[in-house]
Structure 1
Amino acid sequence: MPRVNSDRSPLSTHATELRVRYPECDPMGVAHHAVYPTWFEIGRTEMLRARGGNYRDLERSGAFLVVVRLEVQYRRPARYDDMLRLETHLLAAGPIKILHSYQLFRGVELVAEGQTTLACVDGEGEVRQIPDSLLLG
């Protein structure tokens, strides 16, 4: 049975601080659009770590979480050396899929937001159930 709050509020939320690094920028000092998915992955990884888990142990158990859907809405440019706060929200966790949303802020200003759907697969790329330890953790 999927875990979803009836009011659509997040099951869990985690905040991560990020600084826009020079190699993440174009020649005008603006963060390149391709780095936002990497920042979202950092948010997911740190959320899992804060819950006492890590991807290395998950993968050693034969479970791999792969992105099957990604959306990004760019609201304002992030620039070199900006300090950003990434809020990662766990929206739903089902037998084989996990849904996250993201809000990226510079101070109180919303820079970007997005959403990912992750599916759980085994080492051969076949769909498998998410381990209970991840869903219950």
Structure 2
Amino acid sequence: MHRTEFKVRDYECDMQGIVNNAVYFNYLEHARHEFLHSRQIDFAALARAKVNLVVVRAEMDYKASLTSGDQFYVTTQYQPVSRLRFGFKQQVWRSADQKLMLEALITGTALNEAGKPFLPPELQLLLD
């Protein structure tokens, strides 16, 4: 399991003083990129090689709200879904009290230069 640390910035909050729901997508995406990087998979290098990792489904269960200044972390685990799809099970935890704030399953695939789904060797290694 990979862990990425964050701190809520003022501009990520909405008029209610809580993190806007859409901002969590950014947190989760950054944590997935850090997860891949920790396993020597360079998201940008894959894109330059015309291998595009794309999200095809996002399931998010909001449990509680983060507010400005909260320190938190996102855990990320790779989870195979099918021959051509992969998942990332992710959780957002508030650091101060270890409270679970969000659970997510982000499902993706890789598209080759022709736009066809496939599982590149770099991601196949995660299955081993």
- Residues 71-117 of structure 1: per-residue CA shift (max 9 Å, x gap): 11111110011001100111116542111111110131001111110
* Counterpart residue number, 2:19: 31
Q: Cα 1:29–1:36, aligned 2, differ >3 Å: closer, same or farther?
A: same
- Letter in structure 1 aligned against 2:104: G
1:80-91 alignment, distance < 5 Å: 80-91=68-79
* Counterpart residue number, 1:78: 66
Instruction: Name the TM-score, length of structure 2 as normaliser.
Output: 0.89
**How much does 1:52 deviate?**
1.0
* Counterpart residue number, 1:110: 100
Tell me the SS of whatever aligns to 1:33. Answer: coil
* 2:6 aligns with one of 11, 15, 18: 18
* Counterpart residue number, 1:97: 85
Partner Cα distance (1:57, 1:73) in 2? 31
- Letter in structure 2 aligned against 1:83: Q
Aligned-pair Cα RMSD in Å: 1.5
The number of aligned residues is 124
Tell me the SS of whatever aligns to 1:48. Answer: helix
Instruction: Name the TM-score, length of structure 1 as normaliser.
Output: 0.83
Partner Cα distance (1:92, 1:128) in 2? 15
Partner Cα distance (2:14, 2:122) in 1? 41
**How much does 1:54 deviate?**
1.2
- Letter in structure 1 aligned against 2:59: E
* Counterpart residue number, 1:131: 120
Is the 1:96–1:127 contact (alpha carbons within 8 Å) kept by the matching residues of 2?
A: no
Partner Cα distance (2:106, 2:93) in 1? 18
- Letter in structure 1 aligned against 2:80: A
Gaps of 5+ in 1: 1-12
